[in-house]
């Protein structure tokens, strides 16, 4: 099978980690019968400064017409308001209808406290529809701005189904003999319907209805209000298996969960639609460490695995995860975000060796 | 000085902790020259079931016309959608224009890792305006619900000023010789303006402009995107002094911060307006432990202190905080949420003894 992969490094350390992702794909054993070709695609704040758009239409069209999947690095957000600038990854998720953002947060085998959860974040709506307006308060007290939070039955159903499928798939892996802290599959529905009875209420009801169908009869389903979810995530992270959440809560929860495993530099994600996936590390462009050769490549390399999983290449994905785990459990080749002294290159070479 | 305090126990363990708050007020040393009288006010889900409203107008009027401050326990949220039910505390915050929700998260003197921060949460707008609507998608794909997130210059300015004042006040206490991990006062402005450029952008710009005025010249001001804020809050909580945030982020961050100090049962809050304050523990109604006499009274007792602080009674507040710290540092009288075996009554008696 031959796969064409779009590479969108973006800004900052995105440009240091995406090449690592490419090398991992190139190094995958020929026994897997996978061939990769690559196309470099511009996007990000520097692209915006050069061309006036952060996401050139050509990049979108190339992804749509030529590619099977992609890797996205990170983009810088301007530190002051810049007219016309808008996040390219948020736009890409919508333009390619990548409706699920899947973020596994998992400790390595040697960890003292095992965490093994995955956040399944709705990726197209909620406040991310970015429908905003600003006006003067009628009473003369200054400006007022409003944004729309939109939740649809359709998107809530889709994302709940995805969460259900992922929970079943995880259970299948466990049933095949892989050790796990989870005896039974569990999906936790996150919302704030005690305040947002209609929007989050719709998310909650739709998710519950979706997960109550025959197909998911073997899943346990719970729900949790987002604020207490953050609390319990930190107190009892072992308790979670699959978490399904509207866009913004998913965004916040996944950074929170990343703190539990030691570094954002470890946490991968995949933006998933029907037949397409973009792997994306959860970290940002980290301008403070850019150009120093110390960015952690693990989140990107795991995102390569995740992309492959959603493109149906589970065996290749498993190889990548195992190589990363072995590297991390060695404990000697860690980048500074993990308290180590290794550089990006050393970590990449070690992982390539283990593939 | 004589103060009249409204007591709103609400549901669940609210009814076990609010009486503890009352006893603390009654026990305050006569040398402080404070006299308290009390009025019991109904609100909550049980009130809703009995009377059809979760916040009887009479309770609101009594607070407005007769009281100097109040204590609010907790309310249960119905687990399924109930027509007409709406959170009484959210309504109360708006009706009394209690525009700031102040949530200090602080370890006791004996803690190994010192955390000493306060979350100053905007308390009247954002998604909490609860303006929602539901309609059928024009393409026939089911229901769609929308909510308004509203951010105003006026409310953002007010809350940023409150954060600035609190930062200055905290610094004054330190300058008076109280030991602290913070050398300089810092306010961190939280937002998600990389996605919500108008709403969160307005919050960010207004807060920065407010804190850039002469009055706050001695404060350091930083900003942080909410997702990475949750991450860093867990990685480096010592780094934070005063955090100012829009309503929903403040809600989420404060539960997160509570996890850092061991239990939500320790974290107080005050809903503060001009000349009025309602003390409110950050925890919920905890139906699972209700009626067992094991609810942690500390969050409520600290909320009593916080209420008094905002009513100008800082000396009384300091006495309460010191009594609570001494009780906690004893380490022997802890409720089960803290890993101990003590009951509410034992903890209350010990704190009363130390006042
Ligand atoms: C950069 C930002 C727009 C983005 C988001 O909020 O989705 C990021 O935080 C993420 O989680 O991928
Ligand atoms: C009960 C709920 C409406 C409330 C809120 O969201 O404000 C609670 O979580 C809080 O933090 O006081």
pLDDT digits (tens, 9 = 90+) for B7-37: 999 999 999 999 999 999 999 977 899 999 9
The catalytic site residues of B sit at 128, 192, 227, 251, 255
Query: Strands A100-106 and A270-273, how do they pair?
Result: antiparallel
Are residues A144 and B152, on separate chains, in Cβ contact within 8 Å?
A: yes
**Domain co-membership, A346 together with A282:** yes
**Domain co-membership, A88 together with A162:** no
What was the pLDDT predicted at A147?
A: 98
**Domain co-membership, A61 together with A93:** yes
Express each pLDDT in A276-286 by its tens digit. Answer: 999 999 999 99
Number of domains in chain A: 2
What was the pLDDT predicted at B31?
A: 84
**Domain co-membership, A47 together with A140:** no
Query: What DSSP string describes A107-147?
Result: --TT-SS--EEEEEEE-S-BGGG--EEEEE-TTSS-EEEEE
Which of A260, A292, A311 is the last residue before a domain boundary? A260
DSSP conformation class of B188:
E
Are residues A197 and B227, on separate chains, in Cβ contact within 8 Å?
A: no
User: For chain B, what percent of residues have pLDDT higher than 90?
Assistant: 93
B279 or B109, higher pLDDT: B279
- Residue B107, domain member (yes or no): no
Enclosing domain of residue A170: 112-260
Rounded Cα gap, residues B122 and B202, in angstroms? 14
Strand stretches in chain B, DSSP E:
2-10, 35-40, 69-74, 100-106, 116-122, 132-136, 143-152, 186-191, 220-225, 242-245, 270-273, 276-279
Quick check: CB of B195 below 6 Å from ligand 1? yes
- Residue A48, domain member (yes or no): yes
**Domain co-membership, B255 together with B129:** yes
Quick check: CB of A122 below 6 Å from ligand 1? no
**Domain co-membership, B197 together with B150:** yes
**Domain co-membership, A94 together with A163:** no
What was the pLDDT predicted at B220?
A: 98
DSSP H or E run through A243: strand A242-245
- Residue A24, domain member (yes or no): yes
Express each pLDDT in A115-137 by its tens digit. Answer: 999 999 999 999 999 999 999 99
Atom of ligand 1 nearest to the CA of A269: 12
Rounded Cα gap, residues B191 and A177, in angstroms? 44
What was the pLDDT predicted at B22?
A: 98
**Domain co-membership, B280 together with B231:** no
Ligand 2 pocket test target in A190, A194, A226, A249 with most atoms within 8 Å of CB: A194
Task: Please tell me which residue of chain A has the smallest CA distance to B143.
Answer: A153
> Ligand 2 — pocket residues by CB below 6 A?
A 194-195, 227; B 87, 89-90, 251
Which of A260, A293, A314 is the last residue before a domain boundary? A260
Rounded Cα gap, residues B286 and B280, in angstroms? 14
Query: Strands A2-10 and A69-74, how do they pair?
Result: parallel
What was the pLDDT predicted at A77?
A: 81
Instruction: Indicate the residue of A130, A142, A199 with minimum beta-carbon distance to B152.
Output: A142
DSSP H or E run through A19: helix A14-27
**Domain co-membership, B30 together with B150:** no
Gap from B27 CA to chain A (nearest CA, Å): 33
- Residue B233, domain member (yes or no): yes
What was the pLDDT predicted at B83?
A: 83
- Residue B14, domain member (yes or no): yes
Query: Strands B143-152 and A143-152, how do they pair?
Result: antiparallel
- Residue A91, domain member (yes or no): yes
- Catalytically annotated residue among A200, A251, A325, A350: A251
- Catalytically annotated residue among A11, A45, A116, A192: A192
**Domain co-membership, B204 together with B304:** no
Are residues B144 and A153, on separate chains, in Cβ contact within 8 Å?
A: yes
What was the pLDDT predicted at A31?
A: 83
Rounded Cα gap, residues A168 and A210, in angstroms? 14
**Domain co-membership, A190 together with A121:** yes
What was the pLDDT predicted at B282?
A: 95
Interval between CA B258 and ligand 2 midpoint (Å): 14
Are residues B228 and A145, on separate chains, in Cβ contact within 8 Å?
A: no
Structure-token pair, residue A104 = 């596994």
Question: Taking CB atoms and an 8 Å cut-off, how many pairs form between chains A and B?
Answer: 178
What was the pLDDT predicted at B301?
A: 98
**Domain co-membership, B32 together with B129:** no
Alpha carbon A340 to its chain's center: 25
| CATH number for position B242 | 3.40.718.10
Instruction: Indicate the residue of A133, A199, A225 with minimum beta-carbon distance to B132.
Output: A199
User: Which residue, chain included where needed, has tokens 């190139």?
Assistant: A26
Which of A240, A260, A280 is the last residue before a domain boundary? A260
């Amino acid at each position: 099978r031959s796969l064409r992969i779009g590479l969108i490094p973006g800004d900052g350390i995105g440009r240091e980690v995406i090449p690592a992702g490419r090398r991992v794909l190139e190094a995958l054993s020929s026994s897997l019968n996978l061939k990769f070709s690559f196309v470099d695609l511009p996007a990000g704040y520097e692209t915006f400064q050069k061309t006036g758009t952060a996401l050139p239409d050509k990049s979108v069209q190339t992804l749509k017409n030529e590619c099977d999947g992609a890797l996205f690095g990170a983009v810088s957000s301007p530190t002051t308001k810049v007219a016309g600038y808008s996040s390219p990854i948020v736009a890409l998720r919508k333009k390619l209808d990548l409706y699920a953002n899947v973020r596994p947060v998992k400790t390595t085998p040697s960890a003292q406290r095992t965490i093994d959860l995955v956040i399944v974040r709705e990726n197209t709506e909620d406040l991310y529809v970015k429908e905003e307006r600003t006006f003067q308060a009628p009473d003369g007290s200054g400006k007022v701005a409003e944004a729309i939070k939109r939740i649809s039955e359709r998107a809530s159903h889709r994302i709940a189904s995805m969460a259900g499928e992922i929970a079943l798939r995880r259970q299948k892996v466990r049933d095949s003999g892989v050790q796990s802290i989870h005896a039974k599959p569990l999906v936790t529905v996150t919302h704030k319907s005690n305040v947002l009875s209609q929007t989050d209420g719709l998310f909650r009801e739709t998710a519950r209805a979706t997960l109550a169908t025959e197909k998911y009869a073997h899943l346990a389903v719970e729900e949790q209000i987002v604020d207490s979810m953050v609390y319990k995530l930190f107190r009892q992270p072992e308790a979670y298996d699959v978490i399904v959440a509207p866009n913004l809560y998913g965004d916040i929860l996944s950074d929170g969960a990343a703190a539990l495993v030691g570094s954002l530099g470890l946490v991968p994600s995949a933006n998933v639609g029907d037949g397409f996936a973009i792997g994306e590390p959860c970290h940002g462009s980290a301008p403070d460490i850019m150009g120093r050769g110390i960015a952690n490549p693990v989140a990107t390399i795991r995102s390569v695995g995740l992309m492959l999983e959603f493109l149906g290449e589970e065996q290749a994905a498993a190889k990548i995860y195992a190589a990363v785990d072995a590297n991390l459990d060695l404990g000697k080749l860690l980048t500074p975000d993990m308290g180590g002294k290794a550089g990006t290159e050393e970590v990449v070479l070690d992982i390539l060796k283990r593939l």
